[in-house]
Structure 1
Amino acid sequence: MTAQTPPTPPFRDPQLPFAKRIDDLLARLTLDERIAFLHQFAPAVERLGVAAFRTGQEALHGVAWMGPATVFPQAVGLGATWNDELVRRVGEAVSAEVRAMRARDDRVGLNVWSPTVNLLRHPLWGRNEEGYSEDPKLTSAIATAYTQGLRGDHPDYWRTAPVLKHWLAHNNETDRDTTSSSVRPRVLHEYDLRAFRATVEAGAVAGVMPA
């Protein structure tokens, strides 16, 4: 009597739509396993043959913190160039280096946590070097260029998956995990949201990181 090979679960079938594969995998995970996947370093789920992986990494001005890579100017310096084509090329270089790192180590995730689209509203904010400017139009133009470089030009296959941050009106470090950012409607729509909107509409954004 020959042992039968167990059927391939739907989440491993590349012929199925991506959404169906995700639904199938999620249905097989326990609550604890789902929660563990929310961490930057996701543990293996051996019973399903899912290896440990890293969900992504910072890529605001390169990925040198992950190993040898090009160090580009901080985002505020890139914003000061007013040169969206130059910033797009920087994004292309960063995404190529992320892919090279993944080729050496498949635990390296292709989600890249950048760019920071929060506006530089206050000089005392501890992350001003992560953003591009205080102006929503300039910030959006530079952020869009960077995400397009990170994503690449292929119509179907993305070189990396850019994740904008931090949603929304994130401009304080003190008690930032407990405080509330209350923004007047006009400021919200003409300032904070405006910086995000055009970048999302450009179609090169994979997700948004909550503040």
Structure 2
Amino acid sequence: MKLDDIRREYTKDGLSREKLDDNPIVQFEHWLQQAVDANLSDPTAMVVATVDEHGQPSQRIVLLKQVDDNGFVFFTNTGSRKAQELKGNNKISLHFPWHNLERQVIVYGEAEPLPTTAVAKYFLSRPKESQLAAWASQQSRPVSSRQALMQTFNSMKAKFAKGDIPLPDFWGGYCVKPHQIEFWQGGEHRLHDRFMYRKDPSGQWQVERLNP
């Protein structure tokens, strides 16, 4: 297999300034709805990139749980690698790779912790098994085996067999406040359409076309 021979043309659609909403959140919601309508697998999945104290980036896939003019919301174990890195550097990037639509969106911003009330409201809306998994997993830390993980899960299942499962004190969420958002649409001959929204000092969004 020769990796440098693997390529294809991008021919699904073009993107012009006239097609874009002046508000990038509205534009994102429009594209997200189209990804959902296209029955893409995990349309809310996004790559979350953070940086540690040594400048080493790390990435992982997380599900977007809310988006509005305040920002992009996700939840996680506060002991996880991403949460620990965000403590030292709250700058973050989100990447939505909608391959089948030949589109991607990249969000640049800062992550702000959500209040406990918002975290609890979402946690209690999760399936019971997901709540138990949150209690069972010391996210990002070593575990001796799958069997050990399942034993902890079953222990939590027995512990909370009766009544509601409480919010763990090590579980939280973030709202990513964007200052730049890029929309990318694949184009023929690698002449892709790229538009970058930037928030100016007055809080207004400005948009410009980028070279592919």
The TM-score range, normalised by the shorter chain, is under 0.3
Normalised to the residue count of structure 1, the TM-score between the two structures is: 0.27
Normalised to the residue count of structure 2, the TM-score between the two structures is: 0.27
Write 1 or 2 for the structure with the bigger share of helix. Answer: 1
Q: Which of structures 1 and 2 has the larger relative contact order (alpha carbons within 8 angstroms, sep 6+)? A: 2
